[in-house]
């Protein structure tokens, strides 16, 4: 089966949407945040902890998994779900962003992208057809079209050439897609140019697919410019299909872009920040290594019910981090994921009540302030 999207409710005062994505591995309630498990693992936490936190869908990456352990091995061992012991929905990125971020180690042609592995220097060619083949071998519920992801502030002439190539690559992806258990989503690019976003949305959405994404954000532009562009671009995607904003972002980004009509998000931010001791709380961001927490007996966030906040003091969390104990990464990651997943759960509840605007306004410092 391909994925199927139900639009359950539209907020009365904003563009926020409450939906339900039906996948071969269960239902995903939207708007949703997807923890990133780039190489088949959400760093520092196990599948059991992800389920306990309420994660409904996680993300893997074609580029990393094709290089190690290889999609052939994953398929031989029953697919990515069985390989990593995850029984809920999964999405794989096409590998395009990683390939194009290699800059001097890759070369783009009409055929695809030739790149040098960051692991051993070996040369590889990733084409639209190859990307689809790898993702279907992995067995993800949602797979992404292979696209070029230029910087949002790239010159207009480069963006226009890139968009045309991405459209041609999408058509090749659609022909390669088997229309089996993995559902292909197309990706709209265009930088911050509204006319290019509109044109590319028309081109991409003319290919009938189960869902569509906005790409090319959070790659150099200011948050304000990104929010403005997403507010323009999200409504260009079909109302009856899921809308996915790729690689975004901060709590403020999520809350703002839900109001624009986005249904799905992913970002490495909560897990990466956790490993570096930056924690998100209802009162703002906490840098746990700071000396101010050395004797603090209280929880990291009194408003949070996650295992970390229920069990440990700020003083202990600081000690673990300063001592470079592995447990620090696990406990910090559990909390940050709980914060992001809880934020989306509360957003869904607010949309159902037609109270999304007041919900967003009530968050205050949780969307970014530093508290120590």
Enumerate residues 6+ apart whose C-beta is below 8 A from 246: 93, 97, 144, 187, 213, 214, 215, 217, 266
By annotation, the residues acting in catalysis are 93, 266
Cα–Cα distance for residue pair 118/102, rounded to 1 Å? 8
Q: Kindly report the CA angle at 264 between 259 and 268, in degrees rounded to 5?
A: 110
277-to-50, 228, 354 alpha-carbon distances in Å: 20, 30, 36
Cα–Cα distance for residue pair 82/70, rounded to 1 Å? 15
Of the candidates 73, 34, 58, the one whose C-alpha atom is nearest the C-alpha of residue 140 is 58
Residue carrying the six token digits 């994953």: 74
CB of 263 closer than 8 Å to CB of 346: no
Of the candidates 11, 271, 14, 1, the one whose C-alpha atom is nearest the C-alpha of residue 141 is 1
67-to-17, 118, 234, 249 alpha-carbon distances in Å: 37, 9, 33, 26
Give the count of beta carbons closer than 10 Å to the beta carbon of residue 73. Answer: 12
CB of 284 closer than 8 Å to CB of 54: no
CB of 34 closer than 8 Å to CB of 266: yes
Cα–Cα distance for residue pair 227/229, rounded to 1 Å? 5
């Amino acid at each position: 089966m391909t994925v199927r999207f139900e639009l359950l409710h539209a907020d009365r005062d904003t563009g926020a949407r409450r939906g339900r994505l039906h996948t071969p591995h269960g239902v995903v309630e939207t708007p949703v945040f997807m923890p990133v498990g780039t190489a088949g693992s959400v760093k520092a936490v196990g599948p059991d902890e992800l389920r306990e936190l309420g994660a409904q869908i996680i993300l893997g990456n074609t580029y990393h998994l094709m290089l190690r352990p290889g999609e052939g091995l994953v398929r031989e061992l029953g697919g990515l779900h069985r390989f990593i012991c995850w029984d809920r929905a999964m999405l794989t990125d096409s590998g395009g962003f990683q390939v194009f971020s290699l800059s001097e180690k890759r070369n783009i042609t009409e055929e695809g992208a030739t790149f040098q592995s960051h692991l051993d220097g070996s040369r590889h060619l990733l084409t639209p057809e190859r990307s689809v083949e790898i993702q279907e071998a992995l067995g993800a519920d949602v797979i992404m079209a292979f696209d070029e992801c230029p910087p949002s502030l790239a010159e207009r002439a480069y963006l226009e050439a890139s968009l045309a190539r991405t459209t041609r690559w999408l058509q090749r992806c659609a022909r390669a897609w088997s229309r089996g258990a993995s559902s292909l989503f197309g990706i709209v690019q265009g930088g911050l140019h509204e006319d290019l976003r509109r044109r590319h949305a028309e081109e991409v959405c003319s290919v009938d697919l189960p869902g569509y994404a906005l790409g090319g954000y959070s790659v150099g532009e200011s948050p304000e410019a990104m929010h403005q562009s997403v507010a323009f671009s999200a409504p260009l995607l079909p109302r009856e299909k899921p809308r996915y904003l790729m690689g975004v972002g901060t709590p403020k980004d999520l809350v703002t872009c839900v109001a624009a009509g986005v249904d799905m998000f992913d970002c490495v931010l909560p897990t990466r920040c956790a490993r570096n001791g930056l924690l998100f709380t209802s009162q703002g961001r906490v840098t746990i290594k700071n000396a101010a927490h050395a004797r603090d007996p209280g929880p990291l966030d009194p408003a949070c019910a996650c295992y970390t906040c229920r069990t440990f003091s700020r003083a202990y969390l600081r000690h673990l981090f300063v001592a470079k104990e592995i447990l620090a990464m696990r406990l910090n990651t559990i909390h940050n994921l709980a914060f992001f997943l809880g934020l989306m759960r509360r957003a869904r509840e607010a949309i159902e009540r037609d109270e999304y605007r007041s919900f967003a306004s009530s968050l205050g410092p949780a969307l970014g302030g530093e508290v120590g």
